[in-house]
Structure 1
Amino acid sequence: MNYYELIYLNKELNVKLKSQTLYRIISPLKNVVELYIGEFCVRFHAIPPTPYVYIRSWNSVKKKNIINFFPDLYGQKVEKILSFTQERYLGIRFSGGSTLWFEVFGSRTNLYLEAKGKFFDSFKICHPSLKIAEQRWKKVVEQNIYSSNETELFDAVSQAIKKAVTDELLIDQKDKIKKQLETINLKNRLCSLNPSIEKTHLEELILIHLPEISDLRNLHTFAVICHHQLAFSAEFRLLADGSRTLFPEAFLPKQTKETFKSISDLIVRHSSNLQREGRYRQLLRISQKELDKAIKKTTVNIKQLDKAVDNEEKAVLWEEYGHILMTMAHKAKPDSNVLITQNYFRNNEEIEIKVDLDKSFVENAKQYYKKASNAKRSMEVVEQKLPLISRRLESLLIGKDMLESVNDIRELDSWRRKMFEKGLLNNQPNQSSSYPNNAIKRRAYATNSNKEKQNSNYFISKPYYEFLVLGFTIWIGKNARSNDALLNLAHKEDIWLHAKSVSGSHVIIRAQQKKPDKSVVEIAASFAAHKSKAKGSGWVPVIYTLKKYVRKAKNAAPGAVIVQKEQVIMVEPLEPRNTI
């Protein structure tokens, strides 16, 4: 907060708080303190380097997870609000003689309890000590006067500017003045003439009103004009670029987004916008990181699948090797690790076949047949998955283009929600991020969340989680004993799924009425992969079969089953969710 904002706040607090009773002082959040006076709440964000204070009405006080401060002041009435000339201290004096001083500047911003010229307590722990803070305050008291009258405070600023101008005009060498104008930074010169001036838009004001300056006196006049604009023509404006100003639009012609009646209203809206902007930028960075990671992972998967295309030729070659070795089945075991022979499938070209000396020719042939069979199955997976993964990469790249056009937290939440629903992002967006400073909406959202949780598919009485995927009900076991219960409840024509060769949850597709299509099986398999020990892998093999081909062995451990006639599908783990 700049000094002019504090003067206007002083005026507002005097109007609203004078003769009102202090009920309570609490800290609901770190570095935030609230003073409940009459029907108003004075809120101080003691967060360096930009602390700020404002006043607002209040309906209720937070009762949990709070810290109380300065209890000896409770019940006392406010006598007046005080400000120093040219220093950003704001004081609230109470009927008992004590004063609370807000130090609204610097890296040690704090709230102090003062009585008879001594500090007795503070809101935050003082570094290095409360005594040092008291000495800093006493130095300000010696050099300035304090007042509760905004006219006196503005006059003090005006007198300080005139004194600074007079000191500069003592320079009588014209060539020295010109040299200063050529080398000096005009913004810094204005700040030296009036340290209290609003600095945010000073460079723009210089370009507008002082495009060319040939005399130092022009700068002096401009400093006085700026003071008069802030002191007597101020407008509480929130600008379209997100900044705030007290300069009227006629003097600073920047687009105004909103104009407010009080300085507190302006500060509340500006600070909430800054917080929202901070959350937006943080969530944007997270979203970009998640998206880049998903694109990189998908690209790697496509490259791996492209490499697997080579298995087609290998499968044919390995099968040929198996046939050639079978023609030698009448012989004993091989004499060498490498068998040099002719490939009669390829114009009798000379080939080298690696064999295992401990196995017969038939056993070595079976090894090559098995490798060929596995390679063919791998090719089937590739042919099945490559188009899907390619479409996923295309969707991710489209999502990246859309993310570049996102401008605020609401659009970002909408983007994340769509990406989550499409299965392109695993983390659901925070629904309340669009309403960071609206307590009513936060409470409403919390209430709705509780209702949704109560009415959701996570029923305590059921031994499984339940989701809806493309019209089919999906059951997911919670633990080993839950998996057994799930198996008993499922119909024989339901589809049972489980991650292959690792522990995890049993998954059931309720399908006795209608056979699910391939996309439903893939989504359910992705849930099974996510609910297994292999959830960290890029691709997970999942087995599935009808429930009637799954049975419990006698005395088997909880969750252990015997599976027959299973099929294997390769999927990416996906957090379970409802999919319409």
Structure 2
Amino acid sequence: MQFNYYFLRHLSQEIAECITGMKLTACFSQNKDELIFLFESDEKIFHLKANLDGQASLLSFPQHFARAKRNSVDLFDAAIQQRVAGVRQYINERCFSIILEDCILLFKLHGRRGNILLYQKKRFVSMFKKELIQDAKLQLDSLDRPIDHSIESWTRENYNLRILFPTFDKTILRYLTELSFEEASPTKKNDIISHVLALLDQREFYLYEPNQEIPKLSLIPIEGKEQRSTFASAIEISNRYAQAFFTNYQFSKEKQSLLKQLEKEKAKAHNYITNTQNKIHEIQHSRKYDELANILMANLHVPITREQNSIRLFDFYTNEEIEIKIKPKTTLQQSAEGYYRKAKNQGIELDTAKKNLGKKTKQLKSLNEQIDQINEMDDLRALRTWNKSQSKDSQSRAAQLPFLHFVIDGYEVLLGKNAKNNDLLTQKYARKNDLWLHAKDVSGSHVVIRNLNHLPFPKHVIEQAATLAAWYSKRKNDTLCPVIYTLKKYVRKPKGSLPGQVLVDREEVVMVKPTRQIND
């Protein structure tokens, strides 16, 4: 309610009492939506701080303000060193002007579309929020909106508050509803309106500071609202309102935002742990591929047809018959070799899953510790310091390698950022048994999957890394993109070739949909 007309009447009057006769010695901005005015006289100084960012549009009057040495710009130069002649509040309008010797500063305080404009000889010169281009058409002489507030006019308009009092905001209208205004007789309505106008005229202001909510400034008491403070000065309550907004509400908002982000990461890690545990359990309790291979090897003498795709044999592990799938047009020995390969890959998959499970468990523990740390904080500065330190840690870890960095199911994936960076990645950082990927026949990032303990790369990891290679290439808008992959030892750079150019001696191709979204 700070930008409510009735409060602005009190506030502009107090501002006039403070700055009339003083000189405007500085006007500057050091944030996108913040403007500072400095008024000085021989006896005192007066700061007026305007925040006009939409959500936090408010005026405050700090006793001290240290101007930043950098990223600060002077504004409204024509008004500097001019003495204040007075302050004018426009009738029934959320605007007031600071009248200087040769200029006028118009404070148009229309909530999210608030702005401050400079006029010389009543002609528009410049404004703070330049994107509000229609404000340049505002004429100072047309801002007053006189309305007949006589009892006769109330009766004539049938007590239509929207017409009679367009300056009543939601809080005032709600208060009238609580007083049963609509059901009242004409005489009672006159009394209610007179009572409300008297409340709005008196210098008694209320500030409500509910936990984790935007603080509320009001000229009338709000039923059901607790934690109320009462003030007799519009400037004093404006300062307290600004403090409540930026230190209490903003703290709560930033704290909840951080907690929400960490809880999301925690849920993601928890789901990963659950899925990995299920995968490990499934592998450990499923039929072993090497057992199937052993059964086949023990029955190589059994005849099969070329088109046969399964065979029933005696299972000497369970003493029962078992049906084993075999590949058509192959021998039992070849099918057994396939099962041995699957057994080896299954063992690799199990080892990788256990390693990733350990990493995710550590990450989950770290997330829980961070959530506990944030929950214990009750200060905005401490919260921002903590968040900044966390960001620096993340940035320093990312800065250790000059490439884009991803992790896919525990496998580290690096991407070059440009042609020279591609050479650096492929020629200096990649090891011979790392997997190298690139979008086929077009320019794009070199992609390297780090090899873990010289184990074969899982198919799903290759496919996800290939989607990144496709996205960071000239084929990023294609429906499907062919991506080549090979071990880095088969990639060489010819002498004299351009940055990023290489030759590949052997390759495989996978078709993928370009995307930069990967599954954690």
TM-score (norm 1): 0.56
Question: Does 2:380 align with 1:435?
Answer: yes
Aligned equivalent of 2:126: 121
Q: Pick closer, same or farther for the CA change 1:48–1:323 going to 2, 3 Å.
A: closer
- Seq. identity, %: 16
Aligned equivalent of 2:9: 7
Aligned equivalent of 1:139: 142
Q: How far apart, in 2, do the equivalents of 1:15 and 1:442 lie? A: 39
Amino acid of the structure 2 residue aligned with 1:435: L
Task: Quote how far apart the aligned CAs of 1:108 are.
Answer: 4.8
Task: Quote how far apart the aligned CAs of 1:343 are.
Answer: 1.0
The answer to whether the 8 Å contact 1:193/1:223 transfers is: no
Output aligned runs, 1:13-412, within 5 Å. Answer: 13-38=15-40, 39-48=45-54, 51-94=57-100, 96-105=101-110, 108-125=113-130, 128=133, 132-134=137-139, 137-141=140-144, 162-163=149-150, 165-169=151-155, 189-190=160-161, 192-197=163-168, 199-204=170-175, 206-207=177-178, 209-210=179-180, 213-240=183-210, 242-247=214-219, 254-274=225-245, 277=249, 280-281=252-253, 284=256, 287-288=259-260, 291-292=263-264, 294-295=266-267, 298-299=270-271, 302-303=274-275, 305-306=277-278, 308-312=280-284, 314-316=286-288, 318-328=290-300, 338=309, 340-345=311-316, 346-347=318-319, 349=321, 351-355=323-327, 361=333, 364-372=335-343, 374-375=345-346
Q: How far apart, in 2, do the equivalents of 1:50 and 1:360 lie? A: 75
The answer to whether the 8 Å contact 1:113/1:119 transfers is: yes
Q: How far apart, in 2, do the equivalents of 1:453 and 1:375 lie? A: 39
CA offset digits 1:90-145 (Å, max 9, x no partner)? 11122x332211112266532222233322332233755566212xx32235x55x
Q: How far apart, in 1, do the equivalents of 2:367 and 2:268 lie? A: 18
- Give the secondary structure class of the aligned counterpart of 1:420: helix
- Give the secondary structure class of the aligned counterpart of 2:189: helix
Output aligned runs, 1:355-504, within 5 Å. Answer: 355=327, 361=333, 364-372=335-343, 374-375=345-346, 420=367, 422=369, 434-435=379-380, 445=385, 502-503=449-450
Q: How far apart, in 2, do the equivalents of 1:222 and 1:369 lie? A: 90
Amino acid of the structure 2 residue aligned with 1:266: I
Q: Pick closer, same or farther for the CA change 1:54–1:191 going to 2, 3 Å.
A: farther
The answer to whether the 8 Å contact 1:315/1:371 transfers is: no
Q: How far apart, in 2, do the equivalents of 1:309 and 1:293 lie? A: 24
Q: How far apart, in 2, do the equivalents of 1:90 and 1:105 lie? A: 11
Q: How far apart, in 1, do the equivalents of 2:232 and 2:155 lie? A: 39
RMSD (Å) for aligned C-alpha atoms: 5.4
Q: State the number of aligned residues.
A: 413
Task: Quote how far apart the aligned CAs of 1:422 are.
Answer: 4.0
Q: How far apart, in 2, do the equivalents of 1:321 and 1:482 lie? A: 40
CA offset digits 1:139-186 (Å, max 9, x no partner)? 235x55xxxxxxxxxxxxxxx6741x2123358xxxxxxxx7xxxxx8
Mark the runs of 5 or more structure 2 residues left unpaired by the alignment: 402-424, 432-447, 454-460, 467-517
Task: Quote how far apart the aligned CAs of 1:215 are.
Answer: 0.5
Q: How far apart, in 1, do the equivalents of 2:328 and 2:252 lie? A: 62
The answer to whether the 8 Å contact 1:236/1:260 transfers is: yes
Amino acid of the structure 2 residue aligned with 1:169: T
The answer to whether the 8 Å contact 2:214/2:249 transfers is: no
User: Once structures 1 and 2 are overlaid, which stretch shifts more, 251-260 or 110-119?
Assistant: 251-260
Q: How far apart, in 1, do the equivalents of 2:298 and 2:98 lie? A: 100
CA offset digits 1:233-285 (Å, max 9, x no partner)? 52343354754344365x96742433345323323433454455367447636
Task: Quote how far apart the aligned CAs of 1:198 are.
Answer: 5.3
- Give the secondary structure class of the aligned counterpart of 2:94: strand
The answer to whether the 8 Å contact 2:87/2:97 transfers is: yes
Q: Pick closer, same or farther for the CA change 1:197–1:359 going to 2, 3 Å.
A: same
Q: How far apart, in 1, do the equivalents of 2:60 and 2:218 lie? A: 16
- Give the secondary structure class of the aligned counterpart of 1:64: coil
Q: How far apart, in 1, do the equivalents of 2:267 and 2:224 lie? A: 45
The answer to whether the 8 Å contact 1:190/1:223 transfers is: no
Q: How far apart, in 2, do the equivalents of 1:131 and 1:355 lie? A: 80
Amino acid of the structure 1 residue aligned with 2:118: L
Q: Pick closer, same or farther for the CA change 1:334–1:111 going to 2, 3 Å.
A: same
Q: How far apart, in 2, do the equivalents of 1:310 and 1:126 lie? A: 60
Mark the runs of 5 or more structure 1 residues left unpaired by the alignment: 145-159, 172-179, 181-185, 397-417, 464-478, 485-500, 507-531, 538-572, 576-580
The answer to whether the 8 Å contact 1:34/1:43 transfers is: yes
